[in-house]
A and B are shown apart, each in its own frame.
Chain A
Amino acid sequence: MLIDIGFILGTMFMYATPLLYTALGGAISENSGVVNIGLEGMMTIGAFSAATTSYFLQNPWIGFIFGGFAGALLGLVHAVACVSYRADNVVSGIAINFLGPGIALFLARHFFGGTTHTKILDLDKKMPRPFDGVFEQNSFFDLILNQYATMFIALFLVFVVHFVFYYTRVGLRLRSVGEKPTAARTVGIRVVLYRYGAVIVSGFFAGLGGSSLSIAIVSHFWHPLISGQGFIALAAMIFGKWKPIPTMFACLMFGFSQGIAVFLGRVIPATYTELVSMIPYALTLIVLVLFVRRSRAPSALGGQVDE
């Protein structure tokens, strides 16, 4: 029983990791006033880039950072469209969601001899697990804590982003830009600069989220790897009221439902596995319907500003 709980909690942390990065990215972009539904596409390109770089350089850390930069590049595209050219944020985001996987598949064919997936990393070339071998294998604590380094970094980043948002000058200004850009401008804040910065960093985080999937949770990139996780992260961010710490709990909740799904998948007949794996997605819908009315988005979200 204790082992089962450990298994579910461990799975929760594992599946929450990519959501955490991506949802934090979403929170950064949206607190600056730019809607980012392109998270999915940014995750995809990040996942592909990380897997590819890790494979060729045989170093997961470089791959991880590279995944972030790939996401940031798509973030830049989104920023140019939304901030400079005043594109509708949602439309631009949808375009990003086609662009990300498109580029990823194209490059995969190019680098890996026509296949649509990257080569599988050797186990010792994946993200390391800092607590590997500290606890007895498959013991309660081993199941929970023996996670990839990316998980611990994600949790750490939650508090970093929280600190930046609420305790620093950059954070205050960022939120002011998302709340009332005209007013921010009258006190001399450079709205366009902040929005560019936020959307690019948002892409970087989403890229890290994709990386944490392709070089840690699994060991290569293939087409349906991301399959909606960018959107779940977006839902988690909304459920988390656009704030880092509540967003973390939302991500953990989605991770938990994934843990339940995986656990049930092992104990119930195979005919039901598809139904069970729908749990996280169904939960997304339920949560959005029940809670989103009560949360408050940044006022200027999706709006445009004159400079």
Chain B
Amino acid sequence: MTETDAVKLTNITKRFPSVLANDNINFVLKKGEIHALLGENGAGKTTLMNILYGLQRADSGTIEVYGRPVSIHNPNDALSLKIGMVHQHFMLFEPFTVIENIMLGREIHQCGVLDRKKARKKVVDLSESFGLTVDPDSYISEISVAMQQRVELLRILYQGADILILDEPTAVLSPQEIVEFGAILRKLVTSGKSVIVITHKLKEIIDFADRCTVVSRGKVVNTLSVSDVDAHALASMMIGHELQAQVQSHKNAPGPRLLSLQNIYAEDDRGHTAVQGVTLDVHAGEILALTGVDGNGQREIIEVLAGVRKASSGSILLRDQEIQNYSPRMLYESGCANIPEDRHKDGLVFKFTVAENIALRTYRNYVEGPFLRFDKMNHDAVSLIQDFNIYPADPMHAVGEMSGGNQQKVIIARELVDNPEFIVAAHPTRGLDVGAASYVQQSLVQEKERGAAILLISFDLDEILQIANRIAIIYNGKIIAVKSASDLTREQLGLGFAGIAE
């Protein structure tokens, strides 16, 4: 009996109709360690953890928890074995308070009447002992994403979890918050918890984890101690071959001013002024990164530039032509492209095929009388699928069934096909694995070298420092600094995120 193993998964196999998600996976989580589960999207990490958490059943294989063989049929079973999971997409209830969210399912009550006072005390105690600061009485809709994540963590601790599964916990955090998050994880393991972190961000693994298991195409490639490896080796293991050389961005001299935002004001959905007098120039042949903590007006700027939100005042010039409050079609016709922030919501029609999604901008080219020429549409899509390396290479494939990286490629194919002069790229690599992300970055750099002006909205510091020529930091709806990328360090950027610019 190996008491040092918190979880031991042996020969787990799970087959979905079209894919073998887990192929004979062996995985051991030691007591008191932070174990990273690394792999590209679709490698089978989340499926494996869903099996451990009882959301899916394995076709074969065994699960042992603290040396005892168990069968886990549903999340309740997992919780009674002290296994808790924080999902990538938070399972929080916006109209409920923090306390209500935390206690849901394990309510403290008397004869069915909630005892909020007792629950509050328990939550506050937990939050103090683990350094997870939350406002217990706020509604979820009112608190930041980072705090929402702390609520999720508190919830599984409240439920009594000793084994914590965290699915892509840092995807939504700013660099500063990621550092804090690492400290929280340390605190958790020193107090006896064991943690599995699902991620595809290599840097975090090196920073946080004790050990790491690399999964690729449903199989375990290797389990190793983090101190023995570097990021490069991990990346190669993850994608199964050498990662191509880092995206090269020649710091070429930018051309003339192409797009200019002048004193733009815009309101958010609740009517607050989210963008407060933003002035920015983007030159031909440069990538200007607009960065800052999420929710400082980036979304509103993106939407103004996409023509889906009205600027309340100010002007936007494209080659000295006023384009503010143009419709999306007018913007497209004047040479603006847009890679939206949320590819699910704004970027793609999931039920449409690849060809149809690509033709969303250009469908008028296929009109013949009252009909659409789908044969032509598919024919054109085939060549784009080749150019942009989209998989599966089938114009009739439904976009909703593709991986995130390939979905993003579909958007990029659609947006870049007409050689736009100005491109807004909002978080273009968010949620993508290393291979797909570097492809996307490469495409942007190519566009820049062709002479396009690119506004990159991102808070991935590695990405920004790698491909941007200049960096603008936004805080509270205002631009607090614009600098050449080579003049900025990570530390300065971090401070800028907090609203401090020297």
Binding site for B on A (CB under 8 A): 167-170, 172-173, 175-176, 179-180, 182-189, 296, 299
Cα–Cα distance between A167 and B107 once the two chains are bound (Å): 11
Q: Is the CB of A184 within 8 A of B95?
A: no
List B contacts of A180 (CB < 8 A): 91-93
Q: Is the CB of A296 within 8 A of B95?
A: yes
List A contacts of B106 (CB < 8 A): 187
Q: A168-B113, A168-B114, A170-B112 are in contact. Are A185 and B95 (CB under 8 A)?
A: no
List A contacts of B95 (CB < 8 A): 175, 179, 296
What are 12 pairs between A and B in contact, CB < 8 Å? A167-B113, A169-B109, A169-B113, A172-B114, A173-B104, A183-B91, A183-B92, A185-B75, A186-B55, A186-B85, A188-B79, A188-B105
Determine whether B76 belongs to the interface, using a CB cutoff of 8 Å to chain A. yes
Chain B: interface residue total (CB-CB under 8 A)? 24
Cα–Cα distance between A184 and B113 once the two chains are bound (Å): 19
Determine whether B94 belongs to the interface, using a CB cutoff of 8 Å to chain A. yes
Cα–Cα distance between A168 and B110 once the two chains are bound (Å): 9
Q: Is the CB of B91 within 8 A of A182?
A: yes
Q: Is the CB of A189 within 8 A of B105?
A: yes
List B contacts of A175 (CB < 8 A): 93, 95-96
Option from B74, B93, B109, B114 in Cβ contact (under 8 Å) with A188: B74
How does the 8 Å CB contact mask read for B354-382 relative to A, with 1 for contact and 0 for none?
A: 00000000000000000000000000000
- Residue of chain B at shortest CB distance from A188: B76
A294 to chain B, nearest CB (A): 12
Cα–Cα distance between A222 and B341 once the two chains are bound (Å): 58
List B contacts of A170 (CB < 8 A): 112
Q: A168-B109, A172-B107, A176-B104 are in contact. Are A186 and B114 (CB under 8 A)?
A: no
Determine whether B100 belongs to the interface, using a CB cutoff of 8 Å to chain A. yes
Cα–Cα distance between A173 and B96 once the two chains are bound (Å): 11
Q: Is the CB of B91 within 8 A of A186?
A: yes
Q: Is the CB of B109 within 8 A of A187?
A: no
Q: Is the CB of A187 within 8 A of B104?
A: yes
Cα–Cα distance between A167 and B75 once the two chains are bound (Å): 26
List B contacts of A185 (CB < 8 A): 75
Q: Is the CB of B75 within 8 A of A186?
A: yes
Determine whether B87 belongs to the interface, using a CB cutoff of 8 Å to chain A. yes
Q: By DSSP majority rule, is chain B's interface helix, strand, loop, or mixed?
A: loop
A175 to chain B, nearest CB (A): 8
Q: Is the CB of A172 within 8 A of B113?
A: no
Q: Is the CB of A188 within 8 A of B75?
A: yes
Q: Which 3 A-B pairs have the closest CB atoms?
A: A187-B105, A183-B91, A188-B76
Q: Is the CB of A179 within 8 A of B91?
A: no
Cα–Cα distance between A118 and B100 once the two chains are bound (Å): 49
Q: Is the CB of B87 within 8 A of A186?
A: yes
- Residue of chain A at shortest CB distance from B159: A187
Cα–Cα distance between A187 and B85 once the two chains are bound (Å): 10
B422 to chain A, nearest CB (A): 34
A299 to chain B, nearest CB (A): 7
Cα–Cα distance between A167 and B117 once the two chains are bound (Å): 12
List B contacts of A179 (CB < 8 A): 93-96
> Which of A170, A176, A187 has the most B CB atoms < 10 Å from its CB?
A187
Option from A182, A189, A299 in Cβ contact (under 8 Å) with B104: A189
Q: Is the CB of B55 within 8 A of A183?
A: no
Q: A187-B106, A188-B74, A188-B75 are in contact. Are A176 and B93 (CB under 8 A)?
A: yes
Cα–Cα distance between A85 and B232 once the two chains are bound (Å): 51
List B contacts of A168 (CB < 8 A): 109, 112-114
Q: Is the CB of B92 within 8 A of A172?
A: no
List B contacts of A172 (CB < 8 A): 96, 100, 104, 107, 114
Within 8 A of A (CB), among B429-456: none
- Given A168-B113, A169-B107, A299-B94, 4 additional A-B pairs, CB 8 A: A172-B96, A176-B104, A179-B95, A188-B79
B222 to chain A, nearest CB (A): 31
How does the 8 Å CB contact mask read for B17-53 relative to A, with 1 for contact and 0 for none?
A: 0000000000000000000000000000000000000
List A contacts of B159 (CB < 8 A): 187
Cα–Cα distance between A19 and B85 once the two chains are bound (Å): 44
Cα–Cα distance between A182 and B55 once the two chains are bound (Å): 10
How does the 8 Å CB contact mask read for B92-132 relative to A, with 1 for contact and 0 for none?
A: 11111000100011110100111000000000000000000
B16 to chain A, nearest CB (A): 15
Cα–Cα distance between A175 and B101 once the two chains are bound (Å): 11
Within 8 A of A (CB), among B222-263: none
B47 to chain A, nearest CB (A): 16
List B contacts of A167 (CB < 8 A): 113-114
Cα–Cα distance between A42 and B107 once the two chains are bound (Å): 34
Cα–Cα distance between A170 and B87 once the two chains are bound (Å): 25
A243 to chain B, nearest CB (A): 10
Cα–Cα distance between A189 and B74 once the two chains are bound (Å): 11
List A contacts of B93 (CB < 8 A): 175-176, 179-180, 183
B454 to chain A, nearest CB (A): 36
Cα–Cα distance between A166 and B105 once the two chains are bound (Å): 15
List A contacts of B75 (CB < 8 A): 185-188
B361 to chain A, nearest CB (A): 31
List A contacts of B112 (CB < 8 A): 168-170
Cα–Cα distance between A186 and B74 once the two chains are bound (Å): 8
